[in-house]
A and B are shown apart, each in its own frame.
Chain A
Amino acid sequence: MTKTQKYMKINGEQVPFTNEKNILSVVRKVGIDLPTLCYYSELSVYGSCRMCMVEDQKGNIITSCSTPPKNGMEIRTNTPRLKQYRKTILRLYLASHSRECTTCPKNTSCKLQDLAIRYGIDEIKFDKTEKAYKNDYKIDHSSTSITRNPNKCIQCGDCVRMCNETQNVGAIDFALRGYELKVCPAFDMPLAETECVNCGQCAAVCPTGAITVKDDVPAIWKAIFDDKKRVVAQVAPAVRVALGEEFGLGDGENVMPRIVAAMRKLGFDEVYDSSFTADLTVIEETNEFLNKLEKGEKLPLFTSCCPAWVKYAEEKHPELMSQVSTCKSPQQMFGSLIKAYDKERNEKDGKETVVVSIMPCTAKKAEASREEFVTGGTHDVDMVLTTNGLADMIYESGIVFKELEPEALDMPFGMYTGAGLLFGVTGGVTEAVIRKVIKDKSHTNINNIKFCGVRGMEGIKEFELPLEDGETILKIAVVSGLGNVEKLIEKMNAGEAFYHFIEVMACPGGCVGGAGQPFGLMDKKKLRADMLYASDKQTQMRHSDENPILPELYNGVLKGRTHELLHVHYPTHE
């Protein structure tokens, strides 16, 4: 370590560095928050905003994001010139930016607004010419998950790099050039008509309000205030380890009991847990897998919980759709199950069950609106709200989240095992399936599964799992980030790899990193994942077969209807 230790001078102070990839990281390490609008450490370096520039000893202006640190280098981060340039650049941004800040969904969380405040921009100056920018781009509302407002786009390209590099989707890119440059789908088509998989990661990294997640809060309020509606909510596993961040609680803290309390106060009639239907998914999917394995059908079996992955497979790899599990996702299982379950009740009290999902995810909105999930004219899941959307409702209603007393979930669908809880993190579905597959279900044996390679935030995890029959060795892969699944598929197509089972989650890190969550980089996602694992460890029931409600259901509402209620056939499945 000492051998590679190098030094540079930052504002006259000697600062050691080792293998930081750029000056920016070294500067931030010493507690100076250099401004950036186009830099994410998890995306490739783009260098378009120029805000992170520093001045070297010769008076050269260099962008710290794209310049590696050199031994003996001297830089300053705050000189009169730099201040002037940053201000001018911010003014240029603002001159071509819609300034409807007060009504913007990103108001107070917009990076551009934040920097304008930090640099005291009290006058824009450059917006007075006759040719100055007019706020006249059409807003694209077509997608069920996200809204694109090009008037607020600063062309930083974060979304483009996310969509193309990390997710390999390529639904959006730059078009035109110069001041006409804009980010849009090919031929400026409505986003809903493109290969967009609704993962929403573009919105997650958008520094302004140019791409935002859609949350139809007013519609949910309307249902809540309607006496004829029984508003039944399901809360996904990943939500509970992220919402607390929004209210100043510790990063990754499991705030599920407070969420239940808040939702009751908001007026939800019943609050359940998607971890419950996750348990159902484990049973159904494991059976499907073992059945295929036994019959020697074509493997791998791909998981189907992630709707962004399903859409990706439909768009880019229809040939693989027959290998995607027919299990509905836990969200959709919950919707069809609860509506079947409530049929009798509704007939009795004349109410109508409305299912609201609280999800870390934007693709869940698109999933809920698919026609495969419409029964008798109504959607199995009526409305989907993101973690951030739930926070908005809590803020709006004046509930002080921090001060809420914990409350327990409603029964019976508030019952879940630790296995169901794991669905919120990459590898979780696989680990839950392994728990069902192994015969020795002692706590020690279940705890030891984590050593097989299923855990961790890496984008691709591959490992082997010897079955207890002493013969079969399962080859398993777990991927998060759609770009990674593409790498795996290429490997398989090239004959370099074979797997029995592949879990795919579209968002890097799994659902804890969903686009509906408060924004966080991988370190934050890892904290959330750690908390889910910790919560799993605290549960009494660790594998899905232990869920006591399930036998009751299989003998009751699910009897003879498992296929109808728990499985789906997408047109592309054939």
Chain B
Amino acid sequence: MNSSILSLRTALAVFLLAAALVSTASAKDIALLNVSYDPTRELYVDFNAAFAKYWKAKTGDTVTIKQSHGGSGSQARSINDGLQADVATLALGVDIEALYNIGKLIPQDWQKRLANNSAPYTSTIVFLVRKGNPKRIKDWDDLVKPGVGVVTPNPKTSGGARWNYLAAWGYALKKYGTEDKAKEFVGKLYKNVPVLDSGARGATTSFVQREIGDVELAWENEAFLALKEFGADKFEIVVPSLSILAEPTVAVVDKVVKKKGTEVVAKAYLDYLYSDEGQDIAGRNFYRPTNPAIAAKYAKVFPKLELLSIDADFGGWTKAQKTHFADGGIFDQIYVK
């Protein structure tokens, strides 16, 4: 059974290769589907245009990139259920990991295939507060004070919310030393949350449009975007003493690109995220570039702060997911007393 599939695949590969050789003579139209999470809409509008231009200049082929955005977790689920994504650019490693765990769509070592843990750009979690910071929110400790309304989405349905939660947890663990204390701290924090939206964008809408709460825990890039969209005269960003290094990861979905014959261009697409141009676009859209040279250019925009790392401080995503966010995990425990 397996060998027949294998030989079938070989035959197919040979056929595709032949077809590719035949057709290289003339320019092609290629369509890619990039399945991404909510806050990257603006980033990929810019980046797709730049990549199409670059690819046209390089190969003469016209590439159009279709976008799909949604909650990071549900996007991963859709790919596993058969959404024909050439590349997945999601909010957390654990969501891409699911493409291996559940659907076996990518190899186990996917994260080693690209530089910097397959995270071409990074971000962190900051506080977005109303102009003048009326509640004087400076650091995580201010979030658990009575009377402070904290807006953050539901970690069960939102990738960004999981970074928020872990940053708070990491801060408390570092400051108070024990897991019990950290649990108490996080519990108090979530007592101050009036609305748990299902996604990061919903949380921003609640905070900005509906005027819920005093502070929103937000992706740094989302906070900057909110300033840009809704006016720097209405909100300001507060950078806490400690936060977490958020690594949105990317991967080529091997099974799909092999079937569609888009392997080369899909790989080039992700590589281009690491190019100077790609890094610059990320910086312009408020993501922290990983290329030191480009990052230096944006050093003024992004404040330096101490960042925890998911691998070093939390033992990796799989463990963090199981401990904190699975049904019955610590997040559930702080609600079910």
A and B: interacting chains: no
A-to-B contact residues, CB < 8 Å: none
